[in-house]
Structure 1
Amino acid sequence: MTSELNTDKLAVLFVDDEENVLKSLKRLFLDEPFAILTAGSGQAGLEILKETPVAVIVSDQKMPAMIGAEFLAKSCEIQPDAVRMILTGYADVSAAMDAINKGGAYRYITKPWNDEDLVHAVRDALERYRLGAENRRLTALTIEQNEELRKWGAELETYVQQQTIDLSRRNKELEQLAVKLKKNFRDMITAFLKIMELRDHLLYRHSIQVAALVEGMGKAMGLKAETLELLVSAAQLHDIGSLKSPDMSLLKDMKEMSPEEQQEYAVHPVRGQSVLSVIDDLKQVGLWIRNHHEWYNGQGFPDRIQGESIPLGARVIAVADTFDWMMCRAGHAQNAVAGMLEKIRPLFGVRLDPRLFESLKASAASVYTTDADKGQDIVIELPLEKLAVGMVLARDIRSGSNLLLLGKGAALSQKALDSLCRYHAVDPLKEKIAILTKVKPA
């Protein structure tokens, strides 16, 4: 038994019991680019296969102790991937077939062989082995990569599920934050209104009425809910710049004011914008407040802009502001609405946007209602805990320190009830709540 193995090369094992045949084979394949291994018996060949990887096995069929077919069959158990070939005589075809069927031989070659045919047969066997090895390598790589992909897929699915959970949690937190911020915004507006009420009750009442008119006008105009909410806030604060003005009758028309009073009155829109400009969420509100005294024909103040150049929000507030002052001078008489609408009509196209008259008319009808056909009002007094949504106040509700909480005529909402309970816990009410109820005529 001999071996000439270069570990960088593939190896071919020749098995024959005749030494001269093995020498002939070694000479024949001396210049081939593979290692040559030889064994003088089937058992010796098996020992080599246990120790050394082999690409091709070429075995003689007729050998003592162990014939070629038996050797090749046993070699399959040791190195199943090797390509097997059998050498046999012309008269022993049945033995060759046995080697192919039982020993897994790739092909058989008859003896005596043709050198060129044998060399080509071994080369083909080596190429077959290389292709098989590459196929096994690629198959193993595919299985490995598929397993990695499966693991990555499972990890990705877990990651995506976790991210989905995290995003859902963050979205919920953001929704809660948005609700809190919205509540804080409304509370801030309410706080400004309370400051205005402390400064001048008439100014406070006017702001509430203007806001109600603007809300009705915005709904009639089909404004988006977000825009309308911001516009109502602007209406509530439209005269906040008047807080710095000296005590004077807010019922005065500008033509009735002294030059000093006119000068002071003319700066209150700018002053209002300045107060609110430090709050990012109120910058648009501040712009509407600045321009709510601009006239449609350009004769207003402070910037003397006209027509479409005046922001729509400012034009809506201007209509509501003008109409409520007219109603205020008439004592907010419920039967004065129709007359005031006719009185204000000539101002549209001159001072006010002519396209806003119909929305004012629709809003005024609900803000300044007439109750002549609704029966007679009677007043009942209830403790705070007995109040319910929809009840109408017969008189103002004031805190223990005489701060106006809700005005006479206001309809109670759930939000208003919640606010009253919070104020009562801090500054307890001193009297029961007067509620209007109706007794219909017989």
Structure 2
Amino acid sequence: MATTTIRVLLVDDESNVLSSLQRLLRNESMQIHTAGSGKDALALMESEEIDILVSDSRMPEMDGSELLTLVQKRWPRCIRILLTGYPEMESLIKSINQGHLYRFIQKPWNDDEVRGVLRQAARLAYAERERSRLTKLIQARNRKLRDLNQQLELSVTKRTNALRKAIQLRDKAYKKLEKSYMNSTEVFAALINQRLPKSRQTNGKVSALVKAYAEESGWDAARINDMTMAAALYNLGKVTWSDEHLMTPSDTFRGRDRDKFRTYPELGESLLMSLEPLQRAAIIIRHHQERWDGRGFPGQLEGRNIPEESRLLKLAVDFIELQRGMILDRLMNRDDALENLGIFADRVYDPDMTARFIALVHDKAPDLEPLPDGVISCRLNQLKAGMLVKSNLLTDSGFLLLNAGSVLTPGMIEKLMVFERTRREHYQVHIDVSSDEHVTPDDEASESAETSGSQDS
């Protein structure tokens, strides 16, 4: 640990002056060194760390201005004070300009003035020493964080087989992001999806919504990247929660559970701030639970003081989580969730942004995530017998209606349309564009079991 004693070097070719200064400073909390010439002073500074240099102006071989200039170049943090009996303007200007003079003291000096100047310089030297110590400490910790991040990426790489499916899904969602951004984002998003149950893995839907809104609003590519990364990682702060908390609607939390819930945006931010490319996304995450009326958390920001990206993330998160039962102790269908956003505009949400967001969701398909090549998304009234279903069709509450690989029949389509009307939901079916439109006899046989099983669910 570095000593707190301030080291002072007095330089004068007159020994009686050095003795006088030593006596003057003997009761100060300083370690005093002396030198009779500029050459001796430089030699001493090679072996001792000097905080304050007090040099006489007129000395043979090397005057005070020359000494201060050399010290400034080699030991710039050393505070430099000039002692002069006959101040010459040219020499003084040289000391100030080249030696970066802190103060000058005129002979004969006033004892109280000298002690005051040295005490003030000592405080400055100590502050500079502490700043240097803290800078080195921060740099060391940052290096440690980078090492830990590299170890984490290596660990995730070793588990590639177990995470392959999750990585492929993330690659699809982030394909337009720059490579340097993708590496860090993939690590954390994989951790989230490994921790959350499938019904709580909302990141993909939220990312698709905010990306569609940002692109339609004309945001630049860098801003869209930050926005989609924040959407992909917004619930990072929940990875330490218990299974019970993960499955509990947020509006039902009370007491300590509610207090813990209100910390997750800040925890998510803190986990990302050490990664420079994700710092803007971290700020968006920190404020995505603020409210337009100032009653949100963690900062109780109000109105346009909330970052615009955070206002958008709040809309998208609530829209998806209302449909997943993650906010209220019941599931909302898509239309009711949109209506809820409109009701709380001007209290919870930015009213102008809410109107544009609702219009966007009404105009776009419910599933805004990009589809693979050769796959189209169809509403039920667009379906035809013989079409091949490419992915499972689920209700808004997560029940299976159709298995991937099913071949549609007229009866299946009709029953799906009835189910959609009675449940007040809107379904999109992913169809193979190259599928055969012929219905085989086996399809009719499988139809009854498929749709009746869905209704039982």
Same fold (TM over 0.5): no
Q: Quick check: which has more Rg, 1 or 2?
A: 1
With the length of structure 1 as denominator, give the TM-score of the two structures.
0.44
